[in-house]
Amino acid sequence: MKKNLLFAMLIIVCALMLFGCDQQNPSKNSDKVAKAEDFESHFYQSDRYTIYLHEDGLTIDGTFINDDRKSIIDKVVVSEDMDSPHIHKELNNAKVKVKGDKYIITADDDISLEFTKFMDHIIVDSEGMEYIRKAKE
């Protein structure tokens, strides 16, 4: 009897631990579905960059800060011959494709940026930087 009770309690504890661990990583089992329309009439802003998709392409504004935190946008906008940390980049022919909870933004011929929908108003790039959706005014 004691063995059965101990075994049942062990199963319950393991199940609770597994459920708790699964809830701590929401991007792993995200039920958020990315939609290209999420970029219509909105822009996304991190503490460094603002990305804005429009008819003519993609605009990236912001400030490059040289520290340990990185963004996928750093790879697009940072160059060796930068005169200023202030960034303004216009990319042509931008399109948003979606796959599950992922947004893939392609522009020009060789630019590809991937973001994951984390919450209804937050996307995260592959480097872990969060961008919050704001309404265009």
Q: Give the pLDDT confidence of 8-64 residue by residue, as tens digits.
A: 676 776 676 766 654 444 444 445 888 888 888 889 999 999 999 998 899 999 988
pTM of the model: 0.71
Q: Which of 52, 67, 70 is nearest to 107 (CA)?
A: 52
DSSP code of residue 13:
H
For the chain, the structural domain boundaries read: 1-30, 33-135
Q: Give the pLDDT confidence of 62-71 residue by residue, as tens digits.
A: 988 877 888 9
